Amino acid sequence: MKKIIGVLCIIAAIAITIMTLDEDLNYAPQTFGQYISLMFCTALTIGGAFLIMSENKES
């Protein structure tokens, strides 16, 4: 179950990153809101990876 949630976290982070950087295609955050969004996506990715790893240790 944790593995599924971890994969969904990473997919959500990728989707939010694409939506954030899709307006201007130079792929650099320009506004403060984009910085906050990208930091949130980084936290989602790390959290999802941690969930996937913790499942493997238990089983």
DSSP string, 1-59: -HHHHHHHHHHHHHHHHHHHHSSSTT----SHHHHHHHHHHHHHHHHHHHHHHHHHHH-
> According to the model, what pLDDT value does residue 17 have?
80
> According to the model, what pLDDT value does residue 24 have?
63
> According to the model, what pLDDT value does residue 26 have?
63
Total domains present in the chain: 1
Distance CA 55, CA 21 (A): 32
pLDDT digits (tens, 9 = 90+) for 1-33: 888 888 888 898 888 888 877 666 666 667 787
- Residue range of the domain that includes 54: 2-58
Position 45 pLDDT exceeds 80: yes
Residue 30, Cβ neighbours under 10 Å: how many?
A: 11
Binned at pLDDT 50, 70 and 90, residue 41 comes out as: confident
Instruction: Please give the model's pTM, rounded to 2 decimal places.
Output: 0.68
